[in-house]
Amino acid sequence: MTARTILSFGLSFGAAASAFAALTPAQAAEDPAPVMPIRVMPINDHLTAFYQGRPEERSVKHGPKRWPDLGAIFVGVATYAIHQGDTAVVYDSFTDTGSAQWVRDHLAKAGVRHFMLVNSHWHLDHIGGNAVYADTPRFASEATRTKLVAKQAAIEAGAEEGPPAIMPLAVPDIGVTADTTIMVGTVRVVLRPAQIHSADGLVIELPGDKILLAGDTLEDTATFVAEPQSIPQQYGNLSAMRQWGFTKILPNHGNPEVIAKGGYGLGLLDTTRAYIRRLVEHAHDADFQKQSLVSFVGDAVKAGDVSLWWAYNEAHANNLAVVAKAWKGQPIPGFDKLP
Ligand SMILES: [Zn+2]
């Protein structure tokens, strides 16, 4: 931690820290090549997006798919760095150490010497390259940290989502339980727990830029529903997040053209809210599992709030299936009565 780093409130340091003390970045980076080329997108003088994937459908080979393809590469994946002088906060580590090392090397060439990693949540496509930051402070929500400690053996064995294994997994060592401010030079970086998409979510707000780094809480074309039972709570939490004051949103999975131009407006958040609400409200329809992604987001596409991307048809089909199962026989809540 540098002298210029100010941390406040809500931290708990886990025992996992010592377990990784012996791991060096050189050891971690066994495969130095990223799984896909990475595009560098400067957002402003202290925020950079790194973008990978989103191939055209016709270029994707048939055959069995692995979790990095389905979770990240096909829909496209961005990670971010907030940097000033010799210090950077990196938000998520891609699916593999090769990609994470590429980002670290890029920042090091620009003069960064002090790194901090922040994980948005526990899903594997956000933590695959964590080992590259084994020698640095690694932040996540305390819920993420606890979950990854419990799942570490399975993830390192390639048994959580199937291969590839993440070996070794550098579990976050600093658990955040409340809004936490990190200063990167003069840039205020606020880590904010947000129970949206997954209960362990941790987003980053840059109040000086009115920017939200949204992790997986928001995606273009549509959110991936991982925890269908809590959709009413997530709907309320999205409403609360909307009041924070940001005007631009940079998600981990989105359209690279929009990200390169500085991000989405609040329409992405409103579209996400409407999408998850509609999923639950229609969960008992006889034809529910045949309802297309376009039928859910067509108006938002016309308004320019989101864009259709082929790989989200599969995510949407998955969303229909998990929502139908979770809400079968359950009363549908009145969303208008929710916050
Ligand atoms: Zn996720």
Q: Read off the pLDDT of residues 298-310 as tens digits, 9 standing for 90 and up.
A: 999 999 999 999 9
State the Cα–Cα distance between residues 189 and 42, nearest whole angstrom: 17
pLDDT at 16 (0 to 100): 35
- Cis peptide leading into residue 333 (ω within 30°): no
- Tell me, in angstroms, the distance from the centre of ligand 1 to residue 95's CA: 12
State the Cα–Cα distance between residues 145 and 220, nearest whole angstrom: 27
Burial of residue 279 (CB within 10 Å: 0-12, 13-18, 19+) is buried
210 in any annotated domain? yes
Domain containing 167 equals: 11-337
CA angle 191/173/30 to nearest 5° reads 110
State the Cα–Cα distance between residues 51 and 94, nearest whole angstrom: 9
- Tell me, in angstroms, the distance from the centre of ligand 1 to residue 3's CA: 33
Q: Are 129 and 100 in contact (CB under 8 A)?
A: yes
Q: Is the pLDDT of residue 33 over 90?
A: no
Q: Are 41 and 51 in contact (CB under 8 A)?
A: yes
**Diameter of the chain measured on Cα atoms:** 61
* Residue 20 banded pLDDT, cuts 50, 70, 90: very low
- Tell me, in angstroms, the distance from the centre of ligand 1 to residue 198's CA: 7
CATH number at 64 reads 3.60.15.10
- Tell me, in angstroms, the distance from the centre of ligand 1 to residue 58's CA: 25
- Tell me, in angstroms, the distance from the centre of ligand 1 to residue 69's CA: 13
Map tokens 């997954």 to a residue: 198
- Tell me, in angstroms, the distance from the centre of ligand 1 to residue 217's CA: 8
- Tell me, in angstroms, the distance from the centre of ligand 1 to residue 248's CA: 20
pLDDT at 64 (0 to 100): 84
- Tell me, in angstroms, the distance from the centre of ligand 1 to residue 224's CA: 7
Please tell me the chain's helix, strand, coil percentages from 3-state DSSP, rounded to the nearest 5: 35, 20, 45
- Tell me, in angstroms, the distance from the centre of ligand 1 to residue 315's CA: 12
State the Cα–Cα distance between residues 130 and 40, nearest whole angstrom: 19
DSSP 253-275: SS-HHHHHTT-B-THHHHHHHHH
5 in any annotated domain? no
Residues ≥6 apart with Cβ < 8 Å to 43: 49, 211, 250, 262, 263
Mean pLDDT of 233-256: 98
298 in any annotated domain? yes
The amino acid present at 25, given as its one-letter code, is P
- Tell me, in angstroms, the distance from the centre of ligand 1 to residue 121's CA: 7
Quickly count: other Cβ atoms within 10 Å of residue 12's Cβ: 11
**Exposure of 80 in the CB half-sphere (CA atoms within 13 A):** 32
- Tell me, in angstroms, the distance from the centre of ligand 1 to residue 166's CA: 16
- Tell me, in angstroms, the distance from the centre of ligand 1 to residue 186's CA: 30
Rounded (10°) angle between helices 293-303 and 311-327: 120
How many structural domains compose the chain? 1
* Tens digits of residue pLDDT in 41-78: 999 999 999 999 999 999 998 888 899 998 899 999 99
- Tell me, in angstroms, the distance from the centre of ligand 1 to residue 37's CA: 21
Residues ≥6 apart with Cβ < 8 Å to 293: 221, 222, 308, 312, 313, 316
- What is the token pair recorded at 28? 């971690």
- Tell me, in angstroms, the distance from the centre of ligand 1 to residue 39's CA: 21
2 in any annotated domain? no
- Tell me, in angstroms, the distance from the centre of ligand 1 to residue 218's CA: 10
Q: Is the pLDDT of residue 339 over 90?
A: no
- Tell me, in angstroms, the distance from the centre of ligand 1 to residue 2's CA: 30
* Residue 130 banded pLDDT, cuts 50, 70, 90: very high
* Tens digits of residue pLDDT in 132-174: 999 999 999 999 999 999 999 999 999 999 999 999 999 999 9
- Ligand 1 is a single-atom ion; what residues have CB below 5 A from it? 123, 216
pLDDT at 168 (0 to 100): 97
Say which residue, 296 or 3, is predicted with more confidence. 296
* Residue 82 banded pLDDT, cuts 50, 70, 90: very high
- Dihedral sign from CA coordinates of 146, 147, 148, 151: positive
- Tell me, in angstroms, the distance from the centre of ligand 1 to residue 196's CA: 10
- Tell me, in angstroms, the distance from the centre of ligand 1 to residue 129's CA: 15
pLDDT at 216 (0 to 100): 98
Mean pLDDT of 262-286: 98
- Tell me, in angstroms, the distance from the centre of ligand 1 to residue 76's CA: 13
Task: State the average pLDDT for the chain.
Answer: 91
CA angle 214/215/216 to nearest 5° reads 105
3 in any annotated domain? no
pLDDT at 73 (0 to 100): 93
According to DSSP, the β-strands at 47-52 and 180-184 are unpaired
* Residue 26 banded pLDDT, cuts 50, 70, 90: very low
302 in any annotated domain? yes
Burial letters for 134-165: b for 16+ Cβ neighbours within 10 Å, e otherwise? bbbbbbbbbbbbbbbbebbeebeeeebbeeeb
252 in any annotated domain? yes
220 in any annotated domain? yes
- Tell me, in angstroms, the distance from the centre of ligand 1 to residue 111's CA: 31
Mean pLDDT of 214-243: 98
- Tell me, in angstroms, the distance from the centre of ligand 1 to residue 197's CA: 7
